[in-house]
Amino acid sequence: MENLFGLAIAFVAIFSGLMVVLHRNPMVNLVSLIINLASAAIFFLLLGGQFIAAIQVIVYAGAIMVLFVFVIMLLNLRRELDPPKGGRIQKILYLPAALALAAGLVYAALGPRIALPAPPPPGPDFGSVERVGELLFTDHLFAFEFVSLLLVVAMVGAVVLAKRRLD
């Protein structure tokens, strides 16, 4: 039952992902992206990561998507966009190239797998806030601290590139 549900959500995720890139209306892209992110949250739930699922919904489906909606509304892009004008070679080649990559990945995924030792059964606190926090401040402490530098760089970049008045 749970497997079947997971499979259904996987299809929803793939379909909405395709709609994000293939549909011409930016609002449809956006809604598809929300669905896609929500299905990722459901995956986390199925794996027992309630806290991560909640964060996924709050941060992505909540905060980030609202920003996207605002930008699209402000830019007044409600009409359909023209299809991008690519070079002729790109137009002919993009589909075979994408299919070849997909085929290669599917082939690889179906190929032999390394027999990994069974992971220890998740403890009662698996996926809890405490456990996530503990990992964040022990094993991944450096990554956690270093992300702040990434955020500073991104912020400086946004200001440098988007500041209205040049001096």
Partner 1 sequence: MILPQDLSIHTILPMVLLSATGLAVLILGTGWSRTAFMARWLALSGTLLACLATAALWGRPAESFAGALVLDRFALVLHLVFQISCGITVLFSFRSARALGRRSGEYYSLLLFCTVGMMVLTAGTNLLVIFLGLEVLSISLYILSGIHRERRESIEAALKYFILGAFSTCFILYGIAFLYGASGSLDLAEIGRILGRAAARETSGFMRAGLGLMIVGFAFKIAAVPFHSWAPDVYQGAPTAITGFMATATKAAAFGGLLRVLYLSFSAPAIRETWGPVFALLAVATMVVGNLVALAQDDVKRLLAYSSIAHAGYLLIAVATATEAGVRGILFYLVSYTFMTLGAFGVIGLIGQKEGKGESFSHNLAEYAGLGYRRPILAGAMTLFLLSLTGIPPTAGFMGKFYIFRAAVGSHHVGLAILGVIFSAISAYYYLNIIVYMYMKRAPREGMEPRISFAGAIGIGISLAGTLYLGLFPTGLWGLVGNLL
Q: Which stretch binds partner 1 (CB under 8 A): 3-11, 29-37, 38-46, 136-144?
A: 136-144
Tokens of 48: 């027992």
Position 98 contacts partner 1 (CB under 8 A): no
Pairwise CA distance, residues 3 & 118, whole Å? 19
Q: Which of 68, 16, 65 is nearest to 39 (CA)?
A: 16
Measured between alpha carbons, how far is 130 from 146 in angstroms, rounded to an integer?
A: 21
Report the residue number, 1 or 124, with the smaller CB distance to partner 1: 124
* Near partner 1 by CB under 8 A: residue from 84, 96, 111, 123: 111
The one-character DSSP state at 124 is T
Query: With contact defined as beta carbons under 8 Å apart, do 49 and 127 qualify?
Result: yes
Residue 140 makes contact with partner 1 by CB under 8 A: yes
**Window of 16-24, 80-88, 90-98, 143-151 that interacts with partner 1 by CB under 8 A:** 143-151
Q: What's the N-to-C CA distance of the chain in angstroms?
A: 63
CB of 109: closest distance to partner 1 in angstroms? 6
Catalog residues that contact partner 1 under the rule CB under 8 A: 104-105, 107-116, 119, 134, 137-143, 146-147, 149-150, 152-154, 156-157, 159-161, 166-167
